[in-house]
Amino acid sequence: MAGNATHHYISSFFLVGIPGLQDFHCWIGIPVCLLFSLTLLGNSIIIITIKLEPSLHQPMYFFLCMLAMNDLALASSTAPKMLGIFWLDAHWIDFDICLVQLYFIHTFCIIESALLVAMAFDRYVAICIPLVGPATFLVLPGPFLIRRLPCYTKCVINHAYCKHIANTHVNRTYGISVALLVIVLDLGLLATSYLKILQAVFRLSSQHARSKALGTCAAHVCTILVSYTPALFSFLTHRIGKKVPPSVHIIFASLYLLVPPTVNPLVYGVKTKQIRDRVIGLFFPNKKTSEN
């Protein structure tokens, strides 16, 4: 939130979009629309493929299905409003709807991170039980902390979507604490898991077995890099990168929400033979699938 006007109650927010790049909003909307379309198509194919193929009804593919559904929800909670801003000048958003969007964006982001950790540990129980609950309750205080504020200085948010409003000490502390908890805990678990995986891999006597084992981790590592790189950049520039233009920060924050849901089905669809062969069979029934 910006500005130092007289305090007054508000019922809606004005989302600026990308400050400084308003003249290019119509062009920025094109890649956003493309990413959103690919997200809907790719993740829908993953979900349908796993549902229709009995051989894919296993914990690993159940995880992929959950990841695809979460990616659909994450992209759908941000991209439509962003396209409304960029193409239709629909900048205003109701106060309560803004809080709902804020809640779902952060919840789905934490679930995404938890799913990546669950995949690293590859435990059915880890996938089924603790993913949604902690994310739901961890983010829940955010909207209430914002709603309890008695008044606001200005109803303008210099962003392309509703984000956490850190204009009080309590709100700032809460926002930083949740971000650090998720990043440190999940990255720590991921590092621990892959350390154990590497230790086990390098104990294998066969070079072929080592190569095959490392190859099975490649898709997951790519997904981790795609997910965490823009997230860490956005977090660090927002906290310590005072000289970074706001437009750069907002672009990376938007990429964090739009790129992983687009890339995940492409990575897993290409790297996972069972899914790749089933998709080829669905679209090209007369084409013989590979054996390797």
Could you count the other beta carbons within 10 Å of the beta carbon of residue 218?
A: 11
Q: Is the pLDDT of residue 68 over 70?
A: yes
Q: Is the pLDDT of residue 277 over 50?
A: yes
- The pLDDT score that the predictor gives to residue 243 is 76
Any residues with CB less than 8 A from the CB of 138 and at least 6 apart, and which? Answer: 110, 178, 181, 182
Q: Is the pLDDT of residue 10 over 80?
A: no
φ/ψ (deg, to 5) at 148: -75, -15
- The pLDDT score that the predictor gives to residue 287 is 64
- What b/e sequence results for 57-67 when a residue is b if at least 16 CB atoms lie within 10 Å of its CB, and e otherwise? eeeebebbbbb
Q: Is the pLDDT of residue 46 over 80?
A: yes
> Do strands 156-157 and 12-15 pair parallel, antiparallel, or not at all (unpaired)?
parallel
pLDDT band at 81, cuts 50/70/90?
A: very high
Measured between its terminal Cα atoms, the distance across the chain in Å is 54
Instruction: Answer for the pair 1, 165: CB distance below 8 angstroms, yes or no.
Output: yes
Q: Which residue has the higher pLDDT, 79 or 291?
A: 79
pLDDT band at 146, cuts 50/70/90?
A: low
Give the domains, in start order, of the chain with CATH numbers.
16-131+182-283 (1.20.1070.10)
Q: Cα separation of 102 and 165, whole Å?
A: 10
The rounded mean pLDDT for the chain is 76
Bridge partners (DSSP) of residue 157 are 15
Percent of the chain with pLDDT over 90: 18
pLDDT digit string (tens) for 192-201? Answer: 777 776 777 6
CA-based max dimension of the chain: 72
